[in-house]
Amino acid sequence: MENWEALEESCLHCDRCHLCGTRHNVVFGVGNRESKLLFVGEGPGEQEDLQGIPFVGPAGKLLDDMLSIIDLDRDHCYIANIVKCRPPRNRDPQPQEQDACIGYLENQIALLQPKILVCLGRIAAQRLIDPNFRITYDHGTWVQRRGMLCTALYHPSALLRDPGKRPETFDDLLSLREKLRELNI
């Protein structure tokens, strides 16, 4: 396992998949590298690509609001994505792109050793929890994976497109707060 600095350095210069050809910035991840709470989305969007930071712009603002509901902020968790470079036109990251990039996230997980993993959206949930994960039905449920307690929330972008999903997400956030208290995080 690499240390954080070596891992970030190699990621910032990565050309393992063709997404390196269209990116402005690699979006490695942000937050507290000592935290036991990890959020994972699918990949950078336009603003994230321009700024090199995950979850900025309107979806990032909503994620910050979601965190504040349960008395958290970015200093209390770590936030990363399945792929570190923006897929063109915000399409879903393709399986071969995910396969090329997942090693960085696996190393981030090995360094963090999170107790709780929260997937943001279907792509992350299908990659990290269950290939058949149905975000509409399975969000907010909890499973153990590789020593982590895992769940998934709707992606903030989905909540922006469909505010009708927000009450369910509010309940999921309260469930997350309970788990954080149970595990003393």
Return residues touching ligand SF4 (CB under 6 A).
Answer: 11, 14-17, 19-20, 26, 83-85, 97, 100-101
Nearer to ligand SF4, 97 or 172 (CB): 97
Q: What are the Cα distances from residue 3, in Å, to 55, 75, 108, 110, 126?
A: 24, 20, 9, 10, 27
Nearer to ligand SF4, 19 or 135 (CB): 19
Q: How far is the CB of 158 from ligand SF4 (least distance, A)?
A: 22
Q: How far is the CB of 108 from ligand SF4 (least distance, A)?
A: 12
Nearer to ligand SF4, 37 or 100 (CB): 100
Q: How far is the CB of 28 from ligand SF4 (least distance, A)?
A: 8
Strands of 37-41's sheet, edge to edge? 30-31, 78-81, 37-41, 116-120, 148-153, 143-145
Q: How far is the CB of 97 from ligand SF4 (least distance, A)?
A: 6
Long-range contacts of 138-142 (CB under 8 A, 24+ apart): 139/168, 139/169, 139/172, 140/168, 140/171, 140/172, 140/175, 142/175, 142/179
Nearer to ligand SF4, 52 or 57 (CB): 52
